[in-house]
């Protein structure tokens, strides 16, 4: 079983050095993985995330998506077709990002 720690969105953390330091501390605390709340996958380098996680032998356990419903008002279950279509496009960017982190 992996134990992971939820982290804020990496695109809001500032520099890669700050992200690296936070991930190092998570590793030092004995966690196996991290969870990211990723708002804008295009603003974060999946290669950089994968490299930093690899330095500390951590995994990406999950990408949380709750804010997209609250902030961007995207949902798969609304009646407006355009909103559902935007939600599908957004989730595709999440999947692409997550695939890159695992490869």
Task: Read off the pLDDT of residues 52-91 as tens digits, 9 standing for 90 and up.
Answer: 899 999 988 877 766 666 667 777 788 889 888 888 888 7
CATH architecture of 4-102: Alpha-Beta Barrel (3.20)
**Domain extents in the chain:** 4-102
- The confidence score (pLDDT) of residue 56 equals 94
- The confidence score (pLDDT) of residue 18 equals 83
- The confidence score (pLDDT) of residue 91 equals 78
CA distance linking residue 82 with residue 54, whole number of Å: 39
Is-contact 43 11, C-beta < 8 A?
Answer: yes
CA distance linking residue 34 with residue 23, whole number of Å: 8
Over the stretch 17-57, which tens digit does the pLDDT of each residue have? 788 898 999 999 999 999 887 777 667 777 888 888 999 99
| pTM tops 0.85, yes or no | no
């Amino acid at each position: 079983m992996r134990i992971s720690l939820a982290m804020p969105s990496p695109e809001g953390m500032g520099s890669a050095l700050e992200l690296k330091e936070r991930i190092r501390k998570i590793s030092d605390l004995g966690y196996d993985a991290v969870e990211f709340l990723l708002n804008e996958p295009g603003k974060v380098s999946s290669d950089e995330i994968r490299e930093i996680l690899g330095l500390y032998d951590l995994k990406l356990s999950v990408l949380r998506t709750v804010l997209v419903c609250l902030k961007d008002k995207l949902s798969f279950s609304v009646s407006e077709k355009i909103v559902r279509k935007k939600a599908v496009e957004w989730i595709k960017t999440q999947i692409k990002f997550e695939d890159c982190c695992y490869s």
